[in-house]
Amino acid sequence: MTCTEFLAMLDELIDDDVSAQTRSELQEHLNGCEHCEVTLNTTRKTIEIYRSHEVYELPNSVRQRLHDAIMARCKHGC
Amino acid sequence: MATIQIGENEQHPDLALVASARTGDVQAFETLVNKYDRQIFRIAQHITQNREDAQDVVQDAFLKAYEKLDQFQGNSKFYTWLVRIAVNESLMRLRKRRTGKMVSIDDDIETDEGSVPRDLADWSPNPEQNYGQAELAEILRKTIQGLPHGFRIVFVLRDVDGLSTEETAETLGLSVPAVKSRLLRARLQLRERLSRYFRNKKAGEK
């Protein structure tokens, strides 16, 4: 397996959407390729960081104001 | 996380709330607002890149959803239906800011950047701990803002929000292969850009 072929399957590997056969081929490539191992690990980390850190917080005060506006309109028929 | 795995025959709890809201139960609708407003805000902010626009989108998307509850078919999740409304509202706001220029989720994706990883240095362990909370948030914001928005929105829906590939495709009106190719490139571009901050520093390197 080449690095390009490995990369083409990167998402499937990360999302655990591969057959046992493909997985072992990918694993075999990883064992001999430090670059692809770094790419896999750092891509996983990228996703994990974005998943666990809220980039755009909605402050409670704004949230309350939006709720009030939405509910007021709903109650009076939008 | 918004998505909850449920059995095929089990009804999603949102459906009961939608049914009540349809009969005029405003409280039931408020529950849905409470449940999803943060996610809708996040999606709107990622598309519009503008705080006021994103707040307007939250308000307009929920009001539009309430108005159109009768049209909700129930063959998709309420949340994905709501996201679709929010994405459209966001693109409309963006269009207004760009003085009427057409904006779609297909814009700006003609780039090969990131399709081949270049920065192959490993990252330091728990690299996010080298930055303060505010500094890290700024890095993450700046990095994702640099992505073409057709990639950014796929990444946010799929990886941050936890929608499936099929739901993301349905929500954005894209094909499944298009979502897959955008997701891979979004992930690789983000990785590449974050690498500048998170890579293992060699001795003497700043």
pLDDT tens digit sequence for B84-104: 999 999 999 988 887 656 666
Distance from the A53 Cα atom to the nearest Cα atom in chain B, whole angstroms? 7
Q: How far is A35 from chain B (nearest CA, A)?
A: 6
For B186, phi then psi, to 5°, come to: -65, -45
Q: What is residue B54's three-state secondary structure?
A: helix
CB B41 within 8 A of CB B86: no
| Contact at CB, A47 and B187, closer than 8 angstroms | yes
The interface pTM score, or ipTM, of the predicted complex is 0.92
Does B63 sit within 8 Å of A70, measured CB to CB? yes
B18 has a chain A CB within 8 A of its CB: no
- Which residue of chain A has the CA closest to B37? A63
Question: Could you write out the three-class secondary structure of B171-185?
Answer: HHCCCHHHHHHHHHH
Contact status of B128 with chain A (Cβ, < 8 Å): yes
Query: Does B187 sit within 8 Å of A43, measured CB to CB?
Result: yes
Residue B9 carries which DSSP code? Answer: T
pTM above 0.90, yes or no: no
Whether residue A62 contacts residue B152, with contact meaning beta carbons closer than 8 Å, is answered with no
Q: Which of B54, B137, B159 sits opposite A51 (nearest CB)?
A: B159
Q: Label residues A8-35 b or e (16+ Cβ within 10 Å = b).
A: ebbbbbbeeebeeeeeebbeebbeebee
B57, B89 contact by CB (below 8 A): yes
Q: Tens digit of pLDDT for each residue in B34-85?
A: 999 999 999 999 999 999 999 999 999 999 999 999 999 888 899 999 999 9
